[in-house]
A and B are shown apart, each in its own frame.
Chain A
């Protein structure tokens, strides 16, 4: 089974500053997908960003970007210009190419200070 590790249970960031969330994963496969999901206090989980392992270019969605280091099996999320609405729990997730199943990390709670 794949293992996804988020080593930071909590992170705090000042509004307008940048915060980086770490994620490492363990796999022997070459075809897989990585995701960051956001779960605000209202609990509806939404997709923030996804990365296909075969793509070398790091994915970007507005203020959210990833640093995908395939050899190191690392997939960090950078939130730039943090806003109060970014406060949430963030989950890193892995999915093998031919599989439906998502494997999630334990999550990182992000607090944004005004």
Chain B
């Protein structure tokens, strides 16, 4: 079974703090994704990566950056957290190729005060 893990289930941060969300997958997937989930809006793609050190912006990249130094790990960085970044963050991974199914992690619920 594919396993996608996220470093924290719940996180509370202060406005202006730098926040790191970590995602690790154990199935040697090439593609990794970061989404945020908000009520009434579904999931929206922030960034994705199709290879180590490669990244592409999704629909809502403003205020976020990402890092992929190793194939199994994809980090989402909030350079200066703001209250409007309070949300559920979901990581996903998939094999190479656009036909492949995405597998999701359990999510990190981030509260920015």
With contacts A4-B42, A100-B50, A106-B41 taken as known, whether A45 is within 8 angstroms of B98 at the C-beta atoms is: no
Are A104 and B104 closer than 8 Å at their CB atoms? Answer: no
Binds B, one of A61-69, A78-86, A91-99: A91-99
Interface residues on B, range: 20 to 34
- When distances are taken between beta carbons in the complex, the residues of chain B under 8 Å from A106 are 40-42
With contacts A1-B59, A97-B98 taken as known, whether A91 is within 8 angstroms of B90 at the C-beta atoms is: no
Are A102 and B98 closer than 8 Å at their CB atoms? Answer: no
A-B contact pairs, 28 of them (CB 8 A): A9-B40, A33-B99, A43-B106, A43-B107, A44-B104, A44-B106, A44-B107, A45-B90, A45-B107, A46-B104, A47-B101, A47-B102, A50-B101, A97-B98, A98-B98, A100-B33, A100-B48, A100-B50, A100-B94, A101-B58, A102-B33, A102-B43, A102-B102, A104-B35, A105-B42, A106-B40, A106-B41, A107-B42
